[in-house]
């Protein structure tokens, strides 16, 4: 969702921008992401759309960055094994973190959403 919001070529760009506005305007929402997601996104932006790096940094500065700790890592290994090859390991950590925090997961990845709802 973060990448779609800054990348006009992404098929979910408009939807992501709309969803971000909804999140930031809702006082009951706390926008969160994980350090693993940020790692992947920073790498993608730097290599593929480096002209958007400053915009991306401003956007992620509005999010609470949740670190993937050792317990999340341990649990994510099980989720990864269960859903392999449909999920990346980063996706598995996202499922574990979001469930553990009781968070709503906003993603346009159908496999990630299926795993989240069945975990």
Domain span holding position 104: 28-118
The model's pTM is 0.90
- The answer as to whether 16 is a domain residue is no
| Residue 9 C-beta-side C-alpha neighbours within 13 Å | 4
Query: Residues 75, 54: contact at Cβ < 8 Å?
Result: no
**What pLDDT score does 3 carry?**
95
d(CA 71, CA 97): 10
What CATH number did the domain enclosing 54 receive? 3.40.50.1010
- The answer as to whether 77 is a domain residue is yes
**What pLDDT score does 92 carry?**
98
**What pLDDT score does 56 carry?**
96
Residues of the chain with pLDDT under 50: none
**What pLDDT score does 89 carry?**
98
**What pLDDT score does 34 carry?**
97
- The answer as to whether 2 is a domain residue is no
- DSSP 8-state code for residue 104: P
Cα 110 → chain centroid: 13
**What pLDDT score does 18 carry?**
97
- The answer as to whether 17 is a domain residue is no
């Amino acid at each position: 969702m973060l990448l779609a919001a800054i990348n006009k070529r992404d098929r979910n760009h408009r939807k992501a921008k709309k969803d971000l506005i909804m999140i930031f305007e809702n006082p009951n929402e706390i926008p969160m992401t994980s350090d693993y997601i940020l790692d992947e996104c920073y790498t993608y932006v730097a290599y593929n759309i480096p002209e958007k790096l400053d915009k991306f940094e401003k956007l992620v500065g509005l999010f609470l960055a949740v670190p993937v700790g050792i317990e999340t890592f341990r649990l994510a290994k099980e989720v990864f094994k269960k859903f392999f090859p449909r999920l990346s390991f980063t996706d598995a950590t996202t499922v574990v973190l979001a469930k553990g925090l009781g968070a709503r997961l906003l993603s346009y990845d159908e496999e990630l959403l299926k795993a989240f709802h069945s975990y």
